[in-house]
Amino acid sequence: MPTIRVSQAQINPTVGAFSMNTEKIIQFIKKARDKGADIITFPELCVCGYPPEDLLLKQSFLQDNLSAIQKIREHAKDIAVVVGYAHCHDGRVYNAAALLQNQKLVVNYHKVELPNYGVFDEKRYFGEGSESILFEMNQIRFGLTICEDIWIEGGMCEEFARLKQMDLVLNISASPFHADKLETRLRVAQRFARCADAFLCFNNLLGGQDELVFDGGCFVMTPQGGVISRAGRFNEELLITDIRIDHPKEPQPDVLKKPGASGIVLANRRYHYRNQIAPIMASEHGRFEEIYEALVLGTRDYVKKNGFTQVVLGLSGGIDSSLTLVIAADALGSENVVGITMPSEYTSQETLTDAERIADNLKIRLITVPIKNVYEAYLQSLHDTFGNEEISVAYENVQARIRGNLLMAFSNQFGWLVLTTGNKSELAVGYCTLYGDMAGGFAVIKDVPKTLVFELSEYVNDSRGQDIIPVSVIKRPPSAELRPDQKDEDVLPPYSLLDDILQAYVEEDRAPEEIIGAGFDRKIVNEVARMVDLNEYKRRQAPPGVKITPKAFGKDRRLPITNAYLKSR
């Protein structure tokens, strides 16, 4: 019975870093060849990184991407290679998989299904492919697909089912992470494998790119939908799997729509395997573990790929900055994280002590800069115009902005990237200060709702068997500490209620009436919806952060700032 050794390279390229990416791809080809693999696949567009966005509109970028493929081609010796790149053909650019063997580019497959929803803009850049590719190696017949191709019901799936020719379908992907995405991916893969009646080798990208994290998780699935090998996630890896085809399809010539695209027979490999490779089954992640790992990877890659080594953040002693600190320390090492605590007259001794304790627990350098004198200088300067008007939210924001200014001064002086510490619930309702606590380069927990911030903090402590985040931080009612005895719940509904409403209104795009109909209080729902809509302008100026939910603020959710829709009700 025909057998093949398939290797899948779960690599972490950087957008635009052609020589680094090419070097990495060549290293993985060598490694796979050394392990006796017949074929190696690489993720979607990994030559240029994903998503390259408008870099694809630069001719020089496309040129450099072609040069990279030519270099990689030279290393396709004694192994077949499938690698994702941008293929220019007849004045259009295609999201392509190049099939390389014997130092030749055998054929280009052009992605057929181009996603143009959520975070995706592929129709902005790419022409739609229209040909299936069928090739043969070791008497096994392969189909090629790219990411979305296997996600569309009745698309390539039905085409392959109709053809009854593919024994094994290779899929190269750049499928971004969100919580529980893996389950969806497996379900989609199963539907495809069963419908196409073929093995499916899913090769996902790894790494952080601005707001996206690609979690890897390559796998090989049988035509019945069983996973026979699985790579880990959040790390680079080479997954090698020996596949035996028990019931090879009966070859029929020219079954494809376009005859040019079929009948490709690759040189068989000359090796016979001495040893069968035992299938790898990486362990699975728990719900909080996978989210936490995504936050760590996304933060590490944003910082490092942007040329920074060290980060700084404002440590208030509250739960948001505490969790952010733990993530940063895991991502970059404690020695590369600096905490700054900036107490005011409204800062309680308890939160200050907690800030010190967590910095201590993580062995983080902590700098203290009280804001009292600066704040008083502002009050004095504003007094002439403001007169004796009521002390208002303006003064609260001044304090938050002094802190933002101080953090940025440290950033400018020492080259530390500022991490912001706001959560998704705050950002949704605008309970945060533009240029204040929102000031910074990367917003680590921007997409983490407050209730999940609590859960992740408990997870951090549980998983280490130690209260890295002091219990008092987790137990204390959230407060911005910008005026005496302030509590978040003075102006916001309790977070468990708020997060449920936000889930319905933001993530599921439900109308307020519908949410009220589901049993929520009319006044609260309308007020939350109003706050979400009114604060689009703040979100537009927020730094990027790791997407961990199906709908993150950012490329996922593109609402106009000027929007009279709900405001006018």
- For the annotated catalytic residues, the residue numbers are 44, 111, 147
Structure tokens at 21: 């990416």
Tell me the window of 60-68, 228-236, 237-245, 349-357 that interacts with a second copy (CB under 8 A).
Answer: 60-68
Tell me the chain's radius of gyration from C-alpha atoms.
26
Q: Which residues contact 492 (CB under 8 A, 6 or more apart)?
A: 429, 431, 498
Residue type, 116: N
CA–CA gap between residue 401 and residue 480 (Å, rounded): 13
Tell me the window of 34-42, 132-140, 282-290, 390-398 that interacts with a second copy (CB under 8 A).
Answer: 390-398
Cβ atoms of 342 and 467 within 8 Å: the answer is: no
Nearer to a second copy, 49 or 84 (CB): 49
Q: What is residue 563's DSSP assignment? A: -
Residue selected from 247, 380, 477, 484 as contacting a second copy according to rule CB under 8 A? 380
**Residues numbered 19-48 forming contacts with a second copy, rule: CB under 8 A:** 19-20
Tell me the window of 72-80, 95-103, 186-194, 507-515 that interacts with a second copy (CB under 8 A).
Answer: 507-515
Helices of type H across 306-365: 319-332, 349-362
The interface mask with a second copy, positions 283-302, x = CB under 8 A, is ------------------xx
Contact call for residue 409 and a second copy (CB under 8 A): yes
Q: Could you write out the DSSP letters of every residue in 499-540? A: HHHHIIIIIS---HHHHHHTT--HHHHHHHHHHHHHTHHHHH
Residue selected from 306, 309, 353, 463 as contacting a second copy according to rule CB under 8 A? 306
Residue type, 263: G
Contact call for residue 491 and a second copy (CB under 8 A): no
Residue selected from 23, 30, 53, 93 as contacting a second copy according to rule CB under 8 A? 53
Return the number of other C-beta atoms located less than 10 Å from residue 534's C-beta.
15
Contact call for residue 518 and a second copy (CB under 8 A): no
Cβ atoms of 46 and 21 within 8 Å: the answer is: yes
- For the bound state, the minimum distance from the C-beta of residue 562 to a second copy, rounded and expressed in Å, comes to 5
**Residues numbered 175-234 forming contacts with a second copy, rule: CB under 8 A:** 208-210
- For the bound state, the minimum distance from the C-beta of residue 53 to a second copy, rounded and expressed in Å, comes to 5
Structure tokens at 316: 């208030």
- For the bound state, the minimum distance from the C-beta of residue 124 to a second copy, rounded and expressed in Å, comes to 5
**Residues numbered 101-160 forming contacts with a second copy, rule: CB under 8 A:** 116-117, 121, 123-124
Contact call for residue 567 and a second copy (CB under 8 A): yes
CA–CA gap between residue 114 and residue 95 (Å, rounded): 9
Handedness of CA 541, 542, 543, 546 (dihedral sign): negative
**Residues numbered 71-100 forming contacts with a second copy, rule: CB under 8 A:** none
- For the bound state, the minimum distance from the C-beta of residue 480 to a second copy, rounded and expressed in Å, comes to 15
Structure tokens at 254: 């020219």
Give the CA count within 13 Å in the CB-facing half-sphere of 228: 18
The interface mask with a second copy, positions 434-473, x = CB under 8 A, is xx---x-x--------------------------------
Q: At what angle do helices 319-332 and 349-362 cross, to 10 degrees?
A: 10
Contact call for residue 16 and a second copy (CB under 8 A): yes
Contact call for residue 519 and a second copy (CB under 8 A): no
Q: Which residues pair with 557 in a beta bridge?
A: 554
